[in-house]
Amino acid sequence: MSNLFGTDGIRGRVVLDECDDAGALQRIVEQRLLTPQLMKLLGEALGRCLPEGGEGNQIVIGWDNRPHNETLAAWLTLGFHASNCTVVHIGCASTPMLHYAVLETNSRMGCMITASHNPVEDSGIKVFDARGRKSMPDYENLVSSMAYSLSEEERTIENEIRETGMHPDERHNVDHQDWLQRRLSLVRPLFQHEFSLSNPLRLDCSKGHASTWLSTWLEQQGLSVEEVSNKAKAMNDDCGAGELSPGQAWSWSEIKTSEHLLIQSLESQGVGAVVGAALDGDGDRCLLVRETDTGVEVVDGDDIADALLQACPQAWKVAASIESNLKLLSNIHQHPQMQGFETAVGDRWLSHALETHLADQKQQPLLFGIEDSGHLVFPSPHPHTAEKWSLVGDGAMTLLLSLLAFGNVESKPMEKGWKKRLSVKNPNRWMWDGRNALSNTVESMVRTHLEQAGTVVDWVRGGLPGESNLMLVRCSFNGMDMSFGLRNSGTQEKTSISLRFSQPDPGFDAMLLMRSVQNLLLRTFNPVSY
């Protein structure tokens, strides 16, 4: 039995061919193909394994505007009805809207049908519990096991039941604009001034749900905004945050030939100006674009976090994933009032790390989680219970916080540490578990390289919740923080190598160290090639 879920739900290329339950499971595991039959099977499995922490059996379903998502929603609904659940549809939406809908309707579970920044041919599902939290690995293993068990049973659904069972019991409208207005009123007092832009902002919502309303709403807030992704052929097609990468930059000549709709639309507004912003397809993350001396550069999640902390230097608690810049956490640890936490990759782990610090209170809680990809998890007020808060990643809210931060700080770009990632395609992923003899060999290699290049103290090898095969090494190298991580990817057949230093120059050929580890893994995983 395989776990059907990856780092962030289930994703695959949609095919509408008919198949049975066993065939649907085989297709998603072996070919990454997602079928309507799989959605029905997942609905039934989820309905029989409702997560703890809620009451009743009401389920909320939303979807983004991929071509076949309404069909997939109908089959998912059928599966939930087969498990005697009540189903509410919110229609075409963003992922944060699904989070809000779960809380608004007091539902037991929410399902968002999306593949985030993946190509429009893909779709998938993200699962939320009654408190609006994304599903965790133990629960996903339980659901996967139930799906396999159900696939072994001989079950048929009468045509009449199939036709009626695909329709929701109720429809519910979520007003994202009202949510943003309420949240904006809560965070504005944290900053000295209103947000403002001295230049027009080019906005790219990846032709997702936000492209239909966000630019108009921002203009009502007094900003000059132009949405560019509506010119795209399809969602995520040469547009959106999914097509941008942290550290990416373009000269003005490169901008003219770029195929990315946001980048090619940019014009000079002055060095340091925020000239563009991009959400991903399901609207749960945001990246900015800032003008430089020679062109423009991506302002990633680490930059946004640093600007927030500069503009509002209070007693923040910040969670950052192991792919964030190490300089960010080093700066937080040096601040007497702030606390920093390192987490596994995936915004659900940011929420997991911060949840115990989310106390009941009237004021906006001073905590957030960040990934360099633009995921910013931030507290949101509960729609019905005073002084209660939830944690949600909302790209539109991230944009508002960014504009407040960059508009109110004497803009000082973040001084970033050194950070590189390499990967090894690894069909034999079982050979790496973070604890075996191979892991010990890698650790020894890393330590030897560092000790030959400088002074190493406070060596610690460990891991993190959510990354069962992660080997994470931390130490002080020549007085700077160092982090080395090696793990199997949760979404692809590859093993990822990460090396970070808190200073921009590690003082030796750090890429030689990374390539040495990469070559060792290549020889181990694919000995026939050597």
- Percent above pLDDT 70 for the chain: 95
> Averaged over 433-439, what is the pLDDT?
92
* pLDDT above 90 for 96: yes
**How confident is the model at residue 465, as a pLDDT?**
84
**How confident is the model at residue 384, as a pLDDT?**
92
Dump pLDDT digits (tens) for 269-302. 999 999 999 999 999 999 999 999 999 999 999 9
Task: State pTM to two decimals.
Answer: 0.92
Dump pLDDT digits (tens) for 178-204. 999 999 999 999 988 777 677 889 999
Longest dimension (CA), the chain: 73
* pLDDT above 70 for 427: no
**How confident is the model at residue 428, as a pLDDT?**
74
In DSSP terms, which residues pair with 342 in a beta bridge? 320
**How confident is the model at residue 530, as a pLDDT?**
47
Dump pLDDT digits (tens) for 452-504. 999 999 999 999 887 888 999 999 999 999 999 999 876 567 889 999 999 99
**How confident is the model at residue 412, as a pLDDT?**
73
Q: What is the mean pLDDT of the chain?
A: 92
| CATH code that applies to domain 419-529 | 3.30.310
**How confident is the model at residue 413, as a pLDDT?**
79
Residue for token digits 């509960």? Answer: 382
Structure tokens at 438: 């191979």
Residue type, 374: G
Residue 7 banded pLDDT, cuts 50, 70, 90: confident
**How confident is the model at residue 121, as a pLDDT?**
96
**How confident is the model at residue 198, as a pLDDT?**
72
Residue 449 banded pLDDT, cuts 50, 70, 90: very high
**How confident is the model at residue 110, as a pLDDT?**
98
> Averaged over 129-133, what is the pLDDT?
96
**How confident is the model at residue 494, as a pLDDT?**
81
The answer to whether 225 and 205 have CB atoms below 8 angstroms apart is: no
> Averaged over 247-270, what is the pLDDT?
96
Specify the fold of 10-174: Alpha-D-Glucose-1,6-Bisphosphate; Chain A, domain 3 (3.40.120)
Dump pLDDT digits (tens) for 406-425. 876 555 778 899 999 898 88
**How confident is the model at residue 328, as a pLDDT?**
92
Structure tokens at 508: 């030796």
* pLDDT above 50 for 128: yes
Q: Which of 203-212, 430-439, 514-523 has the highest mean pLDDT?
A: 203-212
Q: Where in the chain is the domain with CATH 3.40.120.10?
A: 10-174, 177-408
* pLDDT above 60 for 49: yes
Dump pLDDT digits (tens) for 335-381. 889 999 999 888 999 999 999 999 999 999 999 999 999 999 999 99
* pLDDT above 90 for 35: yes
In 249-375 the beta strands, taken as DSSP E runs, fall at: 249-251, 274-279, 286-291, 295-299, 317-321, 339-343, 367-370
Q: Where in the chain is the domain with CATH 3.30.310?
A: 419-529
DSSP class of residue 364 equals: P
Instruction: Say whether domain 177-408 belongs to CATH 3.30.70.370.
Output: no
Q: Give Cα separations from 145 to 173, 365, 469, 488 (angstroms).
A: 33, 38, 21, 22
* pLDDT above 60 for 528: no
* pLDDT above 80 for 433: yes
* pLDDT above 70 for 529: no
**How confident is the model at residue 430, as a pLDDT?**
77
Q: What distance in Å separates the CA atoms of residue 287 and residue 306, rounded to the nearest whole number?
A: 14
**How confident is the model at residue 409, as a pLDDT?**
53
3-state secondary structure of 143: helix
The answer to whether 49 and 140 have CB atoms below 8 angstroms apart is: no
> Averaged over 199-223, what is the pLDDT?
95
Phi and psi torsions of 126, nearest 5°: -115, 140
